[in-house]
Amino acid sequence: MKTHTFREMFQDFMCDERLHKTEWTTLHDVSKLLEEHDHLKHVLFNKLGHVLQTVVLTDKRSKEKIVVANTHLFYHPHAAHVKCLKMLIACRQLEIEHIENELSPIIFCGDYNSTPDSGVMQLLLNRFVDSGDEETWKHLCTYEWEEGAGGDLKHVSSIDVEYPTSFPQLISAYEKAPDFTHFIECFAATLDYILASSNFEVVRSASTLSFDDMKEH
């Protein structure tokens, strides 16, 4: 099993040498964004302690390999842009391991702290998030890790975020997203997912509890 910290992945993938070689053109736009947005760069490079864990499993009979990954994204409701950029970086790492292991299929699961209509899920399933997506970029210039740390960021503009064709198409294990995977008295939403590359087929999904079930107990 490998453990990749998001801080290290951002630093690695944003270095000039790797940017010149990559087909992930969105990373060039991210690099330019971080040049203009020092506070966001500070948060991504130094503050976030989350990780991406990956492991390559091999079928004993067929010898086919599968890349399995898991992550837990940042929770903050005003940091949708941070989550989206983290997911871009996570999938860049997944593509590397996909290629290193003979174009193996991918299973990618975790607590994404993102609802089904979020920019994160648009990126994962539709492969693109527009610079005009308000839900994703609303707090780009106002979110601060610590109050007063952000400074004047009115000049910073959002960017399009897109996967290249080299990254496998992902599908969701949910035929229809459940009402919730996270439930507390003041908040309930679907935040947890299992995705897979499209060479998998979803045979069936387990039923989930309803709001009425939860209220009863």
Q: Where are the beta strands (DSSP E) in the chain?
A: 2-5, 51-58, 65-72, 106-111, 128-129, 161-162, 170-172, 182-184, 187-189, 192-197
Helix (H, G, I), strand (E, B) or coil at 66: strand
**Entry pTM:** 0.92
pLDDT tens for each residue of the chain, 217 residues long: 999 999 999 999 998 778 767 889 999 999 999 999 999 999 999 998 999 999 999 999 999 999 999 999 999 999 999 999 999 999 999 999 999 999 999 999 999 999 999 999 999 999 999 999 999 999 999 999 987 666 666 679 999 999 999 999 999 999 888 888 888 877 888 899 999 999 998 888 877 877 777 776 6
Distance CA 16, CA 92 (A): 16
Positive or negative, the CA dihedral 27, 172, 6, 155 is: positive
